[in-house]
Structure 1
Amino acid sequence: NHNICLVFWSFCLQGYYVHSNNPYKDYTNAFEQGLQKCRDGDLNSAVLLLEASILQDPQDSEAWQVLGTTQAENENEQAAIVCLQRCLVLHPNNLKSLMALAVSLTNTGQQPEACEALHRWIRYNPRYRHLLQDRSPLDGSPLPRRRGSSISPISTLGCSQLVEVLELYQEAMQQNAEGVDPDLQTGLGVLFNLSSEFDKAVDAFNAALSVRPEDYLLWNRLGATLANGDRSEEAVEAYTRALELQPGFIRSRYNLGISCINLGAHREAVRNFLTALHQQRKSRSHQVMSSNIWAALRIALSLMNQPELFQAASVGDLDLLMRAFNMDM
C-alpha cells in the first residue's frame, strides 16, 4: 500500500485533499502551467498548479485526469486513484483516465476493480465496443473456459472477470487490422501482469513501445513487468531509459532503487531513493515526500549496515543523508 504524507493545512474537495495555502490558487492559466511543469518533470509544482485549476473549477474533468496521472508519477497512488475516479464521474468515457486507473488499481492490489476499469475501456472505445454486443455484462459470474485459451489458470486472483476481460482484449487485438494499438497493448500488459504471465506482459509493452518509443510511462511499465518476472537487470535498463526521457519521473526513480536492492547494489539504491525524495522536497511550498520511498530507503540502509544513517532516515533527516552520500543537489 502506498501511504501519502499530507501536511495539516489541507482540506477535502470531492474526496481529494487539496492544500489550502496554494500560492497558485489565483493563477488564471494554472492548468496550462501545470501541464508545462509536468513536461519539465517538476511534479510537485505541477500538482500545486493542477490543484489550483481544480479549486477554480471543480467540474473540470481534464484537470482531474492530469492531476491523477501526475500523482501516480509522483508515487502518490491513492491520491491518483481519487482524482481519476473523480474524472470518470464527470466524464465516464475518458479513455486515458480508465487506462491510468486500471494501472493504479493494479499497483494497489485491487484486481477486480482493475478488471472493471479495463472492461469499461473497451465498452467506451468506439474501435472495440462492438465486441461486447454478444456478451453478458461483466458481473464476476463463472464463465466457461474457451477451447484453446492461452490464459493460465488463475489461482491467486480467483477473478473470473480477468479471464473474460483478457479474452476480450485478445479478441480486440486479433480484429485490429490497423496495426498495433499501443493503448490496447498497454491494457493487455496490465492484464497479463494480473494473471502473472509476465513474459506475455513484456511482449505487450514492447509492442506498444514499437509505436511509442519515447513514452517514458511505457518504459517504466515494461521495467516493472520485468522486475515482477525476476528479470531485474533488464528492468534497470528499462527504468534507466524512462529516466533518460523524463528525469523527474519519481515513480521510475523509486522502481529503479527497488531493482538495485534486488541486485545487491544497495548504495546505488540509496542514491536513487535520495534523489527521488530530494525531487519531491524541492518545491518551495509543497514539501510532500512519499513514506513509501522513505521505507525503501530504510531497507537499503539496513542492508548496508549503517545504523547511524538508518536513524537519520527514521527521523527524516534528508540533508544529513544527502551529505553522507556526497549528493549536493
Structure 2
Amino acid sequence: MPTAIEKIISDHVGVKVHAGEYVETSVDLIYFHDGTGVLVFKHLEEMGVEKLGNVKTAVFFDHSVPPHSIDAATLQKYVLNSCMKYGISSIHFMGEGICHQVIHERGYVKPGQIIIGADSHTPTLGALGILALGVGALDTAYALATGKLWLKIPETILITIEGKLPKGVYAKDVILHIIGSLKAYGALGKVVEFSGSLISDLSIESRFTLCNMAVEMGAVSCFQNVDEKTIKYLRDVGVHEFKVYFSDKDSYAEIFSFDASSLEPQIACPHSVDNVKPVAEVEGTPIDQVFIGTCTNGRLEDLIEVAKILKKGKVKPYVKLII
C-alpha cells in the first residue's frame, strides 16, 4: 500500500520503491536564493563543474535585500556572476517576492514533481501535491551538476483536521497548535500529509502556511491532495497538464486527528517553536517590534487581514511595525 510520496518517487526512478530504501532520483526543478547560493556555487567550483545538468533552475535574491553591508553586496554579486557563468537565466531580483511564493506564482511547478530547494521551507510547495525537499548546498550543487538527488525514502504520517475555524483563527494558529501538540520532533524524518474537512475549506494560500511550517516539527516534506481549488489555482498561473498522486488508505506510518472548531489564537513563546500557548495566556505582555511577512504567511490574504485590524486604530509610538 504505497503513499503518494512512494508513488511519485517510483515514477521518477522507474521501479517500485518503498519507505526506508535509498535511491538516486531525477529532479524536476532546483531553486535557491542569495543566502544559500554562495555555498552552492562554491561547491560547484570545488567539484570542478563547468557545465550544469539539464534541470530547470531558478535563483532568487530575497534574503539580504537590500544588502545590509558591503560584504553582503559582494556576495550577491558573486551569486549573480555565477548564474551568468553557468547559464542560469531564471533570476528573480529584489522586490519580486520570497522564493517559496514566487516559484509557484510564476508557474514553475506542478503536481507530481520532485523539487529541491536550498532552503528549509521548500516543503511549502507540498500544498500543490508536490514532493518538495529542502536540502543543503552540497546536495543542491550535486543535483545541479547531475540532475539527480540521493535520498532515503521517507515514511508518511497523516494529520487529519476537521471542523470550522472560529472567527479570528487562521491556518497559522492551526499549525502552531499541531506543533505544540506533537512537538518539534513529532514528524522527524517523515512527510506530513494533511487531510480532513478543514483542509478542503482552506484557501490555497492558507494551505501553503500549513505546509511551510511542517518542517518545524521535523518533517522532511509536506503533502496535500490535489482538489478543485488546487486545479483552479494552477490554471490561473498557467499550469494545465500534470499527474496527481494519492496515498493508499493503509499506507501511513501514523495517523493524528485534530478538531479546529474550538481553537483559540495561538502563539509560539520563547525559546522554541513548540512552546505554544493560547494568546490569551500572554495577554498584556509588552511588545517592542512586530514583523508582518515571511514565507509562512505574508501573502495577500494575510495582508488584507492585517489592514482590517490596523485601520481600527494606530500603532503605538514605541512599537516598531515592519511589513
Normalising to structure 1: TM-score of the pair? 0.30
Higher RCO (CA < 8 A, seq sep 6+): 2
Structure with a larger share of its residues in strand = 2
Taking structure 2 as the reference length, the TM-score comes to 0.30
Structure with bigger helix share is: 1
